C-alpha cells in the first residue's frame, strides 16, 4: 500500500482542490435543490489545517465562495456539521442561546478499531482484506435495515480513507429527525453491548425480532469465511477460550473441548430452554459496531466525502453497493496517485473531449478528474445527487397533482 507522509500534502493539496475536488456535485448535494432558504449558507464546515489547527464554524454563501476558501486554506481534512438557525461564521454575533443546530443528515460511523476483540489479523488502525469483510457485513446489514425497516432511500456510503466507513442518510425525513429519534434509530441497530470488561456482548431472547433474523441471514453468509477461516477462531487455545467464554455452563458441562462446536448446535436443538448460543457467538464476532454518539447528535461533525486522509493519503470516496463484494480499500486512489495521473500527457481523445467541455468563458477545464482514478467515484457521487434530484422533482409533481385534486 502506498502511504503518503504529511510532508507531501502541502504541495499536493493545492493541486487536488484546484483541479480535482468535485465542487459542483458537492454543492448540489448540500443545497438539496435550494428548497429550504439558506440551507447551504447555514451549513457548518470545519477545517483541520497543517499542525492540527482546527477551524470550526466556517460557512459559505455559494459554491464559488466555498471553492475560493478551500483553495486558499487547503485543509488537511474537511468535516461537515449541521444546518444552523443562522450562518455559522456569524455565530458570535447572534444573541446567546438563539444559535441552534436545526437539521443534519442521519449519519453512521463504523470503525474497525471497535472490533479489536474479534479480529486476530490486525489491531488498532491497521486493516487487511481479511478483516475488511466486517465492513462489508456492516454495510449490508445497516443499509438493508435503513431502507426496508425505516423506508429511507438516499443513502451515501463512504470509505473513511483508512479503517472504516460512514453512511449519510440524506432523505428529508432523516435530516429533520430530533436527537431522541436519532438515538432511537441508533439503539434499534445496536446489538453488541458493553465495553472491554463485558465478555458476552450479545443477548438474544424469545421471540427473536425480525430485524435480528434478517441480520443473522447476512452474518451466516460470511461467518465461516470471516471467523473460522480468516480469523481461525478455533485455531489456538487463546482464541478458543474466547469462544468458550460465550457458551452457557450447562452446555459446556456436556461436552469435551473437541466436541464443543457440535455441542453448541445439538444441545440447543434438544434443550427445553431457549438457547441462541450459536447465533449470539456469530453476532458477537460479526455484527456491526456503531459509534452511537456520532448518530445521536444533530451538531456532530463527520468527515466529508472527498476529504483526504492525512495519514494514508487515500481519498474518502463513495462506495458502490452494486459492487460491494469487490470493494478493496487498498485500491482506493491516493492523492499522490491522482496528482501524478494529471501530469500524464493527454491522449488525442482526452484533448478532444476537453475542448468540448471547455468553459465558454475560456476558463478552467471542468473534467480534469476524468483523467484520473478518481473518475468512477465522482461519477458515482454524481449519480447519487442526480437520483436525489429526480426523486425531489417526482415528489413536487406528486404534491402538485394532489393539490389539483382538491
pLDDT tens-place string over residues 78-135: 999 999 999 999 999 999 899 999 999 999 999 999 999 999 999 988 999 999 999 9
Residues forming the active site: 44, 109, 111
- Could you tell me how many residues make up the chain? 406
Burial label, 37 (beta-carbon count in 10 A; 0-12, 13-18, 19+): exposed
- Grid coordinates in use for 404? 389539483
Nearest-CA neighbor of 48 among 11, 77, 10?
77
Q: What is the pLDDT of residues 194-243, one digit of tens each?
A: 988 899 999 999 899 999 999 999 999 999 888 888 888 888 888 888 88
Which residues of the chain fall below pLDDT 50?
1-3, 362-365
Residue 343 confidence (pLDDT): 85
Q: In this predicted structure, what is the pLDDT of residue 365? A: 47
Q: How far apart are CA 193 and CA 242, in angstroms?
A: 16
Burial of 247 (0-12, 13-18, 19+ CB in 10 A): buried
Q: Alpha-carbon distance 60 to 66, whole Å?
A: 6
pLDDT for the residue 231: 86
- What pLDDT, on a 0 to 100 scale, did the predictor assign at position 137? 98
Cα–Cα distance, 21 to 372 (Å, whole number): 12
Residues 297 and 80: their CA atoms lie apart, in Å, by 13
| pTM, 2 dp | 0.91
Distance CA 364, CA 128 (A): 39
Distance CA 124, CA 114 (A): 8
Backbone dihedral angles phi then psi of residue 396, each to the nearest 5 degrees: -60, -45
Rounded CA separation 306/303 (Å): 9
Return the pLDDT at 1.
Answer: 38
The β-bridge relationship of strands 77-84 and 302-303 is antiparallel
Q: Helices 23-31 and 375-405 sit at what angle, rounded to 10 degrees?
A: 30
pLDDT for 354: 62
- Which pLDDT score, from 0 to 100, does residue 355 have? 60
**Cis omega (within 30 of 0) for bond into 89:** no
pLDDT (0 to 100) of residue 158: 98
Amino acid at each position: 500500500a502506498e502511504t503518503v507522509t504529511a510532508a507531501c500534502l502541502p504541495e499536493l493539496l493545492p493541486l487536488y482542490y484546484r483541479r480535482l475536488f468535485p465542487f459542483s456535485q458537492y454543492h448540489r448535494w448540500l443545497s438539496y435543490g435550494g428548497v429550504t432558504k439558506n440551507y447551504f449558507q447555514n451549513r457548518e464546515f470545519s477545517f483541520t489545517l497543517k499542525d492540527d489547527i482546527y477551524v470550526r464554524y466556517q460557512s459559505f454563501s455559494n459554491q464559488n465562495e466555498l471553492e475560493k476558501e478551500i483553495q486558499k486554506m487547503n485543509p488537511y481534512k474537511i468535516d461537515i456539521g449541521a444546518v444552523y438557525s443562522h450562518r455559522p461564521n456569524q455565530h458570535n454575533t447572534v444573541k446567546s442561546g438563539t444559535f441552534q443546530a436545526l437539521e443534519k443528515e442521519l449519519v453512521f460511523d463504523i470503525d474497525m478499531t471497535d472490533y479489536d476483540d474479534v479480529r486476530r489479523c490486525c489491531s488498532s488502525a491497521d486493516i487487511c482484506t481479511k478483516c475488511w469483510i466486517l465492513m462489508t457485513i456492516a454495510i449490508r446489514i445497516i443499509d438493508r435495515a435503513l431502507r426496508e425497516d425505516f423506508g429511507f432511500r438516499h443513502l451515501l456510503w463512504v470509505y473513511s480513507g483508512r479503517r472504516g466507513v460512514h453512511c449519510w442518510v440524506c432523505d428529508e425525513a432523516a435530516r429533520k429527525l430530533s436527537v431522541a429519534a436519532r438515538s432511537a434509530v441508533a439503539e434499534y441497530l445496536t446489538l453488541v453491548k458493553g465495553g472491554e470488561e463485558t465478555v458476552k456482548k450479545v443477548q438474544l431472547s424469545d421471540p427473536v425480532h425480525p430485524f435480528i433474523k434478517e441480520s443473522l441471514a447476512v452474518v451466516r453468509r460470511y461467518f465461516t469465511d470471516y471467523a473460522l477461516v480468516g480469523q481461525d477462531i478455533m485455531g489456538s487455545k487463546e482464541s478458543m477460550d474466547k469462544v468458550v467464554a460465550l457458551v452457557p455452563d450447562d452446555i459446556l458441562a456436556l461436552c469435551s473441548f473437541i466436541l464443543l462446536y457440535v455441542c453448541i448446535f445439538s444441545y440447543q436443538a434438544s434443550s427445553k430452554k431457549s438457547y441462541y448460543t450459536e447465533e449470539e457467538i456469530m453476532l458477537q464476532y460479526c455484527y456491526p459496531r456503531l459509534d452511537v454518539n456520532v448518530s445521536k447528535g444533530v451538531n456532530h461533525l463527520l468527515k466529508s466525502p472527498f476529504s483526504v486522509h492525512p495519514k494514508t493519503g487515500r481519498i474518502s470516496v463513495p462506495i458502490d453497493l452494486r459492487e460491494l463484494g469487490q470493494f478493496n480499500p487498498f485500491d482506493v486512489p491516493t492523492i499522490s496517485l491522482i496528482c501524478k495521473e494529471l501530469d500524464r500527457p493527454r491522449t488525442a481523445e482526452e484533448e478532444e473531449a476537453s475542448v468540448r467541455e471547455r468553459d465558454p468563458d475560456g476558463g478552467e477545464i471542468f473534467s480534469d478528474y476524468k483523467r484520473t482514478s478518481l473518475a468512477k467515484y465522482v461519477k458515482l457521487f454524481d449519480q447519487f445527487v442526480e437520483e436525489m434530484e429526480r426523486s425531489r422533482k417526482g415528489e413536487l409533481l406528486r404534491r402538485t397533482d394532489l393539490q389539483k385534486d382538491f
